[in-house]
Amino acid sequence: MKVLVTGANGYLGQGIVKHLVHLGLQVIAVDFAVDNVDDRAEKIACDLFSIDNPYDYFGKPDVLLHLAWRDGFVHYSDAHINDLPKHYSFIRSFADSGITKIVVMGSMHEIGFFEGSIKEDTPCHPTTPYGISKNALRELTAMICAQKGKKFQWLRGYYIVGNSRYGSSIFSKITAAEIEGKEEFPFTLGLNQFDFIDYEDFCEQVARSVNQDEILGIINICSGHPEKLADRVERFIKENNYKIKLKYGAFPDRPYDSKAVWGDSSKIEKIMS
């Protein structure tokens, strides 16, 4: 199976490409630059949205895995709204092609403020440009796949834990601060509970989801249980033998973050088993 991966040079893309290759899939990895992509993949550096016929240009892949997204951790960036028509046009071009399946990376921020387990049919009321745009793209992609008879997967990602200094998550920022020799890291009270999943587990769940067609639709890429933010961050610091300490209460909690939220893992557990 030939899989086209957009955003392949990004934080998530790099790990997901490796796991797809491990599964024996042929991967075409695409991004503005591809210097950090696994050499076993076919690498193409380009601007996705400037290509007239991407299906033919990228060698008629069987599956599109669309990870590309600008300012993913800047939830109020105007880029989310400005880029939405480009993402839809790109995906629509594949829906009009001979491709078999379209897979797009989503986010639990599509849901908005919610407490409890997020299921496939949990209503979405996003409150940020990031969440609003992701949710709109999900609905548009589901619509066009249904119209064109394409298999559809929406991989709803949760909170990723990894020690790369180049990501934008709190864990990446702590790693960068540790490397810079800082003694304290400004933090909230850390009372909110989220669904945390380790980076490698996240990438494997994505790759395994793409590599099967029995389970489609919205799939939560998650651990399936909540953990207090302060507990997970303290554990992360200990796991990596960092010396940095958290400065509790330096920042207020974000008003749009839920007190306790996690993904229903029933679908991904079936896929992984």
For the annotated catalytic residues, the residue numbers are 130
Angle between helices 11-22 and 199-210 (to 10 degrees): 60
Rounded to whole angstroms, the Cα distance separating 245 from 174 reads 10
DSSP letter for 200, please.
H
The phi-psi region of residue 249 (left if phi > 0; otherwise alpha if psi is between -120 and 50; otherwise beta) is left
Contact present, 44 and 54 (Cβ < 8 Å): no
129 token code pair: 């440009």
- Give CA separation, 120 vs 31, 88, 165, 204, 228, in Å: 30, 22, 32, 20, 23
Helices first, then strands: H and E counts in the chain? 8, 15
- Residue (of 88, 79, 90, 91) closest to 129 by Cα position: 79
Contact present, 57 and 28 (Cβ < 8 Å): no
